[in-house]
Structure 1
Amino acid sequence: MPKGSIEHANLTVTNPARSAELFRQMLGWETRWSGHSQMGGDTIHVGQPGNGATYMALYTNDDVRADKDRHYSKGQPLNHVGLLVDDLEAAERVVIAAGLEPFGHDDYEPGKRFYFFDWDGIEFEVVSYAGAAS
């Protein structure tokens, strides 16, 4: 049976540089690529160092930057993006320092977690398997 994993998530955000910096600080990620998107606008790919297989593409364009009501071209069907960290408390400090508000703290199999909304209303779940409930 084939095995797989998530290769990337492509998120539309108002400020890719700001979002990329949050992931660099919280997850130790690095910028893999940045530039103009084939669809118009600009994109930053940020992901795990030395790992070309796991990243987030953070996209914006003039319409997104100008639309205060956030009417994205593909809608908003996303529930949340799950991020795995080795130090949940350190990740939460980064989120708070970025001016964002963690919520939904919980500890159940397979790990401890909290959630937050970024500046564009995207919900993230941050989970750690270290010290999880048994």
Structure 2
Amino acid sequence: MSNGKLEHVNITVSDPQRSATLLHDLFGWHIRWEGPSMAAGHTIHVGRDDQYIALYTNPDVQAADPKFNKGEPLNHIGVTVDDLDSVEAKVVAAGLEPFGHDEYEPGRRFYFFDWNGIEWEVVSYR
């Protein structure tokens, strides 16, 4: 039996640098790679050495500045943190609005939508 491990998630955003900066500020992630990609696009890989989010864009996406609906194509991306309150303060400082605060086993959490309507869940198991 092989033990699978999630390596990355690739999402489309209108401004990869803005999204990478937010993920760095919230989670301490770094840019692993950045460069040209398909359809005259640009991609930034931001995360840790063994896991990352690929932030993809191309000229059509940038021109449209899309706003995706929840569930089209995904419900949310979940990230665990040690200090939930400090991350929430950074979300607010970025001009984004936390919601859905809840505490149930096994932890506390909140959600927020980024500029493209992608929902993020931030959870602490401490």
TM-score in terms of structure 2 length = 0.91
Structure 2 counterpart SS, 1:76: coil
Deviation at 1:111, TM superposition (A): 1.1
Distance of 2:2 and 2:105 partners within structure 1: 25
Q: Deviations over 1:71-114 (max 9, x none)?
A: 8xxx9221000011111011101111110000000011121100
Distance of 2:32 and 2:13 partners within structure 1: 18
Corresponding residue number in structure 2 for 1:28: 28
The answer to whether residue 50 in structure 2 is matched with residue 64 in structure 1 is: no
Asked if the contact 2:67/2:115 (under 8 Å) is kept, the reply is no
- The amino acid that maps onto 2:52 is Y
CA-atom RMSD in angstroms = 1.6
Deviation at 1:44, TM superposition (A): 0.4
Q: 69, 83, 86: which one pairs with 2:82?
A: 86
Distance of 1:109 and 1:4 partners within structure 2: 25
The answer to whether residue 115 in structure 2 is matched with residue 119 in structure 1 is: yes
The answer to whether residue 98 in structure 2 is matched with residue 105 in structure 1 is: no
Distance of 1:54 and 1:91 partners within structure 2: 19
Deviation at 1:2, TM superposition (A): 2.9
TM-score in terms of structure 1 length = 0.86
Deviation at 1:66, TM superposition (A): 1.0
Distance of 1:8 and 1:27 partners within structure 2: 15
Unaligned segments of structure 1, at least 5 residues:
none
Question: Deviating runs (4+, > 4 A) in structure 1?
Answer: 68-71
Unaligned segments of structure 2, at least 5 residues:
none
